[in-house]
A and B are shown apart, each in its own frame.
Chain A
Amino acid sequence: LASTTKMQDVLESDYAKHGLTPDKLRLMLHKMLLLRRFEEKIEELFLVKGALIGPSHLYLGQEAIAVGALTALEPEDLTITTYRGHGHALAKNVPAKLCMAELFGKSTGTCKGLGGSMHVAIYPETGSLYATAIVGSGLPIAAGVGLGLKQKKSKNVAACFFGDGAVNTGAFHEAMNLIALWKLPVLLFCENNQYAMSTPVNRAVSSHTIAERASSYGMQTTVVNGNDVVSVFLATRAAAEKARLQSEPVFLECVTYKMKGHGVYDKGDYRPKDEVTKWLHRDPILAFENHLLQGKFLAQTKIDQAESAVKREIEEAVAYANEGSPLSFDELHKYVYAGGA
């Protein structure tokens, strides 16, 4: 894979100039912890407690991407994500308790329990517009969202998240062409976590890098260290400015790694052990914590406080989810058509 940008592209003394105020750094760490602990709780609810069933694709290890990107964007910017979308939902300020209730299939969830894990991130109230469970299918929809924003002369952008598996679908290519052709304000975040289910990128993608493929559409492309939240934040900020001011798309290949397997039941044991170990040493949260401590941006006590607050929030979310009940089956027909059939 192509070399990735390093954490210290921007001098620490210049952080504030680039929007990385102490508050923002603290917020980013808080969110990353929330994403991590939320997924760990989900894993426990599935595997240990047997409280949850169905497919669930965890975001463990990729937290720097959703958090870096969505902290850099404006609240009114719109996201389109995938079935691996719990992280994007939380990073886009969807309340954790609504996400948890959705995973429990309760009427108190984001989608009233009709969506489930793969659609948790559908919550337009915070700009978390859509989450699709079909690989690659979000890009054409993001093209339309970008076109809609452009047509309304809005300064907002569409941010589309997808994995390395998506880049081999027809939907990806049709949408990439249209987004570039029409110069739509769309940021394309390819979270290259190295595996599409169990298939590694080098057995699935013909081009040397994914970014190279994207650049063939004539759009600006950046390769970002997806395990470095500061890099993702800075790259997103620059990309968003281009999208807002010049109405140009930007493709960001964020190189990362799934800490666990494809879905919650997959142990991921088809991956070489040394590869897994190497990437676990690049844990984006530990790296960021060390960076904050070493740069004296944050004291250990603040990190501990964030951990406790996150723990509380997740406990409350589980309690909230447990309290709810599913929709009545008799009501379901009301949701098939808008405005009644």
Chain B
Amino acid sequence: MSMREITYAEALHEALREEMIRDPNVMLLGEEIGVFGGAYKITRGLVEEFGPERVRDTPISEIAIAGTAIGLALTGFKPVAEIMYMDFLPICLDQLATQAAKIHFMSGGQLKVPMVLRTQYSLGRQHGSQHSQFFPSWFFQVPGLKVVLPGTAYDAKGLLKSAIRDENPVLFVESGVLYRTKGEVPEGEYTIPLGKAEVMRKGDDVTIVGVSRMVGEAMSAARKLEEGGVSAEVIDIRTLQPLDLDTVVDSVKRTSRLIIACDDVKAGGVGSEISAAVLESGFDYLDAPILRVACPEMPIPFSPTLEQKYMPNAEKIVEAARQTVGK
């Protein structure tokens, strides 16, 4: 398949457009997604191509957006709803966590809710405390929901297509910072299975698990570490539910050291869960404490200088890696 470079945003757009062509039951709904083309232009041109019935602008009503998606899913549609910022997700948490994620189970398998809730987090874009939050670990507590976090343009497209085809509710969290970054994406059709992590780079000394934006940072860190003689393996976890623990443990078996890098607050974060799970099944393979590279326990500061200090990045990963390998 021939490759070309497109942005993460373009990759998402292509996934939506291709799935809408492929399946007439795919419907989009959300704030500003129609005429305006989406706050971040992911849905640009789709209302013109598919019409206002399949690309529905909604009022600012997150509960109604999520609930409508559930109702559509229950009547045979494949809704893809957009929640503009992850910060707005708690507004519709009942619909997502207590309704959508439970319906298949508590109906004894009678009902299915094939819907995707797309959202994005804007940490790193100077959006302040209420427009930058990233709390994917909350959803470890919501079995029944799939949680997908693409870290590259390639994954953005392939994972979104799989999420739309899935029979379950999927929370699909995009990275706002990555929207304008480019990556290699094949011309033709492909999908990426949900629940399979990817080893982005082989290495022997330390395993770095990256989540979303931190996948790229982990790759930069690995290149810097190589200059200093440390060979890092980088894993893009891709989905938190299902969580591909096997790929992480297999890697730790070889490297004996683990770092988890994620843009969330460290306490109770993604790194906490992955490290606990690795300790349960891979304790014997570890030669050093697992380290988490994440955000400190405070709200996100606006000041660009302070926000940069607040965020995890390649340098902080390098520092953690050197600490764990003792070099």
Residues of chain A at the chain B interface (Cβ within 8 Å): 78, 109-115, 119, 122-125, 129-130, 132, 134, 137, 139-149, 151-152, 158, 170-171, 174-175, 177-178, 181, 334-339, 341
Contact = CB atoms under 8 A, between A and B. Distances in A.
Interface string B100-114: 000111111111111
Contacts of B162: none
B252 to A, nearest CB: 23
Is the interface on chain B under 10, 10 to 19, 20 to 34, or 35 or more residues?
A: 35 or more
Interface string B36-63: 0000000000000000010000110111
B144 A337 contact: yes
B64 interface: yes
A130 B64 contact: no
Nearest to B108: A112
11 contacts: A109-B108, A111-B106, A113-B108, A119-B107, A137-B67, A137-B98, A137-B99, A141-B68, A145-B74, A171-B95, A334-B109
B108 A335 contact: yes
A147 B94 contact: no
A115 B111 CA distance: 12
Q: Which of the listed residues A112, A123, A132, A158 has the most CB atoms from chain B within 10 Å of its own CB?
A: A132
B63 A336 contact: no
A148 B104 contact: no
Given A114-B108, A177-B59, A134 B94 contact: yes
Given A112-B108, A123-B110, A124-B110, A152 B76 contact: yes
B134 to A, nearest CB: 24
B66 interface: yes
B168 A337 contact: yes
A111 B146 CA distance: 22
Given A140-B64, A141-B99, A335-B108, 16 more contacts: A114-B107, A115-B106, A122-B107, A122-B111, A124-B111, A141-B95, A144-B67, A178-B68, A181-B59, A335-B104, A336-B105, A337-B168, A338-B104, A338-B109, A338-B168, A339-B166
Top 8 closest A-B pairs, CB basis?
Answer: A144-B71, A140-B67, A148-B75, A112-B108, A174-B64, A144-B68, A111-B108, A174-B61
B70 A337 contact: no
B73 interface: yes
B27 interface: yes
A151 B27 contact: yes
Given A141-B99, A148-B76, A175-B63, A119 B71 contact: no
B62 to A, nearest CB: 8
Given A174-B63, A175-B63, A147 B95 contact: no
B261 to A, nearest CB: 25
